[in-house]
Amino acid sequence: MVGTFRSPSGEEFQRDIVRSPGAVGVVPVRDIGGAPTVVLVCQYRPPLDRMVLEIPAGVRDVPEELTEATAARELAEEVGLRAGQMDYLINYYTSAGMTDSVLHLYLATDLSSVTATAHGPEEEHMEIVELPLAEAIEMVVRGEIRDAKTVIGLLLVDRRLRG
């Protein structure tokens, strides 16, 4: 949509904007042999026309649903996991120059298996990938993991777990 705005000095201008209900992302972490391991998904992203490695996430498409409930639902749907502990990390503007979308990030631990229920062609063809957190952080540093919510989530979780 095209919106009309006024600058702080009163000048009127137009910008293309995308209105969004926002989204959630979840960094699921397992303790495997004393080392934190993250559960990611590799899925096709049409705007990029490529497979992208990222944390489980989704749009807040259920009206009035709390962000933690959306995060729990997405975790179950995409990777078939339930968190015994869900800790809020941060919320941030995904692209303040073009959308009002806010993404809420969670750390999910004490994980148990549930039935995954894929929705849409992207999820039907995605692969679940488990990596040591240290390896995932190195992939961020090397530019191999480039999805913003994933970069932010992995770095925040790494920092939190290091104390």
Give per-10-residue mean pLDDT for the chain (163 aa): 90 91 97 93 94 97 96 96 98 94 98 85 82 98 98 98 91
Longest pairwise C-alpha distance within the chain: 60
Q: What is the dihedral of CA 115, 32, 141, 150, to 10 degrees?
A: 20
- Contact between 137 and 154 under an 8 Å Cβ cutoff? The reply is yes
Looking at the domain that runs over 21-162, which CATH code has it been given? 3.90.79.10
Do the bridges between strand 23-32 and strand 102-113 make them parallel or antiparallel, or are there none, so unpaired?
parallel
The residues annotated as belonging to the active site are 122
Query: Strand pairing partners for 12?
Result: 6
**Domain coordinates of the chain in residue numbers?**
21-162
- Contact between 15 and 3 under an 8 Å Cβ cutoff? The reply is yes
- Count of CB atoms situated within 10 Å of the CB of 124: 10
Residue type, 85: Q
pTM: 0.92
At residue 117, the 3 state secondary structure works out as coil
The pLDDT of residue 116 is 83
Query: For residue 105, what are its two tokens?
Result: 């990030």
